[in-house]
Amino acid sequence: MRYGLGVLLLERSLADGDVGAVAAAAEALSRSLRLGRTSSWTYAALDPTQLPESYRDLAAWARRLGVGDDICRRLPFERLSPTEGRELVETVRAHAGTAHAWLDTFGQEAMTREAAAVMFLLLGVEEEHHVIDRARGQ
């Protein structure tokens, strides 16, 4: 179960006032949290050769942190060590401009899996800068 789906089920159950459904949704969400699942859509199959060569070193970060689910996106960032936080910030700073320019070339067309992973990585870094700063010890 994705966190986003679990939260949605919990919210709907609460709105309906169905105590049994609330308990079931809360248990499913809790189980998912305990198992450390961050998303049912992972980028394990991400192909770094589909990224422009100049910033293929973003691929490993995109595979790990490029979570599409808005609710779940912060969770892998919270697990970063101080060293990982520093490495992430340095890598993203070095490539953010060219990565954004490449993403812009898709316009309204469907993005590749690799492009989506990079987009979600960059979005996560923007959204979770405070978490990253804490991981970096700042």
Contact 78, 127 (CB under 8 A): no
Which residues of the chain fall below pLDDT 70?
1-44, 130-138
Element (H, E) at 58: helix 58-65
- What's the pLDDT score for residue 28? 58
Token code pair at residue 93: 């700073």
Q: Where are the strands (E) in the chain, listed by range?
A: none
- What's the pLDDT score for residue 78? 82
Q: How far is CA 83 from CA 88, 89, 109, 135, in A?
A: 9, 10, 36, 8
User: Can you say how many angstroms the Cα of residue 115 is from the centroid of all Cα atoms in its chain?
Assistant: 13
The end-to-end CA distance of the chain, in Å, is: 33
**The length of the chain, given as a count of residues:** 138
